[in-house]
Structure 1
Amino acid sequence: MSDDRLFPFPSHQRARWRRSSHSAAMNNCVEAARLADSTLAVRDSKDVSRRALRFSAPAWDRFLSAVEREGTG
């Protein structure tokens, strides 16, 4: 994975992070935030200080399509 999709958390502290209500009790999920440049940031909810991944809208759509098509294992 190239470093251009990674960014340190402090640079996006003002992002509005969201997580699924289905996993709030376990805190075992990912959080997502739509950024000002129309990309989507995704981070591990268990360690929000670590780097997050950033996806373009088309890349995120391809990921979701693959999960729907192939399942989560």
Structure 2
Amino acid sequence: MRHDLPAHLWHKSSYSNGGSGNCLETQLTADGLVAVGDSKDRTRGAFAFSPTEWAAFVDLIKQGD
């Protein structure tokens, strides 16, 4: 769990429902990981994945797994 991430580097997906506030945010960390956090509560920290792990996860979601 990462808690040391700059607030200004978070990016919401273009698929996020802008009005509900229920969004995941991502950012590329200084050490090359993909951080994934909850836009409603950044104080909870973020999970960090290697780019390969994140790409595999996204591919599985696209396939419906």
Structures share fold, TM-score greater than 0.5: yes
Structure whose alpha-carbon radius of gyration is higher: 1
Q: Secondary structure at the match of 1:64?
A: helix
Instruction: State which of 11, 27, 30 in structure 2 corresponds to 1:18.
Output: 11
* RMSD of Structure 2 on Structure 1 (CA): 1.6
- Give the aligned length: 64
Paired residues of 1:42 and 1:54 also in contact (CA < 8 A): yes
Gaps of 5+ in 2: none
Gaps of 5+ in 1: 1-5
Q: Secondary structure at the match of 1:12?
A: coil
The list of structure 1 runs, each at least 4 consecutive aligned residues, that deviate by more than 6 angstroms after superposition, is none
Deviations 1:19-46 (A, max 9, x none): 0244222111101011111111010111
Deviations 1:40-65 (A, max 9, x none): 10101111111200010000011011
Paired residues of 1:15 and 1:34 also in contact (CA < 8 A): no
Instruction: State which of 38, 43, 46 in structure 2 corresponds to 1:49.
Output: 43
Q: Which residue number corresponds to residue 7 of structure 1?
A: 2
Aligned residue type for 2:59: S
Does the C-alpha gap of structure 1 residues 15 and 58 become closer, same or farther in structure 2, counting only changes over 3 Å?
farther
Q: Which residue number corresponds to residue 68 of structure 1?
A: 62
